[in-house]
């Protein structure tokens, strides 16, 4: 992904739990400059956080992370990161020469189911089955195992419908469990598609507006130099009406 790539400790953690960094897709990217502007990045980040809170944007995890400018021993830049499910919004405010720049990237990290995820899951259930066999005997262990698998499958398939939205978010973050849950059990719905597109539209727009406001408040004009138009790609897959199949 070239200059659009975002490398950080969080990205490594995402890779471990099924967020595969090399499959990340930059959906949107813009950068703007203001000549001679002096602004502490923390001031801009605090303004963005305040605006998100005032808009009551739900279900977002906001944190401040450092990304290296180059290798491990290079200087680091402070970024404001906002995460919602598999979407990450990374914004940076920093001096550059005699000027100052603001940037925002919208990155989608698709759930990647790997062979070792299945191997770990198989190993876990094998241990459970062995324990049940020792406690209950083979016959009752088989019955208990089937019941356990059915119960887990039902909870996974109906986590949101059962009013367990927090469980839904938690399952996606659990190593091994997350990719299996999202690929096999978590249903894609109209609501999830609509909500995803709303975040893609609103969050970058808020960041851009805050950048314009803090720049204007100091008597400077923000000049936009580069913008990459949103590319939804596989992120948006229309759901065909019942009884019909989607045409390619």
Summarize pLDDT for 174-206 with one digit per residue, the tens.
888 888 888 888 888 888 889 888 999 999 999
Contacts of 106 (CB under 8 A, 6+ apart): 26, 27, 28, 29, 87, 88, 89, 200, 203, 204, 230
Average pLDDT value for the chain: 80
Q: Give the mean model confidence (pLDDT) for residues 29-39.
A: 90
Q: Give helix 138-157 / helix 115-136 axis angle, nearest 10°.
A: 140
pLDDT of residue 246 exceeding 50, the answer is no
- Between 192 and 119, where is the model more confident? 119
- Residue-wise pLDDT tens digits, 47-94: 999 999 999 888 888 999 887 776 666 678 899 999 988 899 999 999
State the pLDDT at residue 75: 77
Q: What is the pTM of this model?
A: 0.69
Q: Say what the pLDDT of residue 149 is.
A: 92
Residues 52 and 244: their CA atoms lie apart, in Å, by: 40
Determine the pLDDT at residue 104.
Answer: 93
How many CB atoms within 10 Å of residue 48?
23
Residue 210 in this model has a pLDDT that exceeds 60? yes
Q: What local confidence, expressed as pLDDT, does residue 15 receive?
A: 40
230: confidence class by pLDDT, cuts 50, 70, 90: low
- Residue 44: pLDDT band (50, 70, 90) is very high
As beta bridge partners, residue 68 has 76
Residue 145 pLDDT: 93
Which pLDDT does position 224 carry in this prediction? 72
176 or 232, higher pLDDT: 176
Q: What is the pLDDT of residue 147?
A: 94
Higher pLDDT, 145 or 223: 145
Q: Is the pLDDT of residue 19 over 60?
A: no
Lowest-confidence region among 40-44, 107-111, 236-240: 236-240
Residue 140: its pLDDT value, please?
92
Q: What is the pLDDT of residues 103-114, one digit of tens each?
A: 999 998 888 888
Side by side, the strands of the sheet bearing 25-35 are 61-68, 76-84, 87-96, 99-108, 25-35, 223-228
**Can you give the pLDDT at residue 10?**
40
């Amino acid at each position: 992904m070239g200059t659009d790539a975002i490398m950080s400790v969080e990205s490594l953690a995402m890779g471990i739990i099924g967020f595969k960094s090399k499959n990340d897709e930059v959906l949107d990217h813009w950068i703007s400059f203001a000549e001679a502007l002096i602004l502490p990045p923390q001031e801009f980040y605090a303004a963005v956080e305040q605006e998100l809170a005032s808009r009551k944007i739900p279900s977002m995890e906001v944190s401040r992370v450092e990304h290296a400018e180059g290798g491990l021993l290079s200087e680091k830049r402070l970024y404001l990161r906002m995460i919602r499910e598999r979407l990450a919004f990374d914004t940076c405010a920093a001096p550059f020469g005699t000027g100052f720049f603001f940037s925002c990237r919208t990155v989608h990290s698709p759930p990647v189911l790997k062979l070792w995820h299945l191997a770990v899951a198989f190993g876990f259930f094998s241990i459970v089955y062995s324990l049940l066999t020792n406690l209950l005997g083979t016959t009752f262990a088989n019955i208990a195992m089937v019941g356990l698998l059915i119960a887990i499958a039902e909870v996974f398939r109906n986590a949101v419908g059962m009013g367990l939205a927090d469980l839904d978010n938690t399952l996606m973050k659990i190593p091994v469990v997350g990719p299996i849950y999202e690929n096999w059990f978590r249903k894609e719905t109209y609501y999830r598609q609509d909500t995803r597109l709303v975040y893609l539209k609103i969050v970058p727009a808020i960041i851009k507006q805050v950048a314009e406001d803090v720049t204007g408040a100091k008597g400077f004009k923000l000049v936009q130099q580069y913008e990459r138009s949103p590319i939804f790609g596989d992120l948006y897959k229309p759901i065909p009406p019942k009884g019909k199949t989607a045409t390619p």
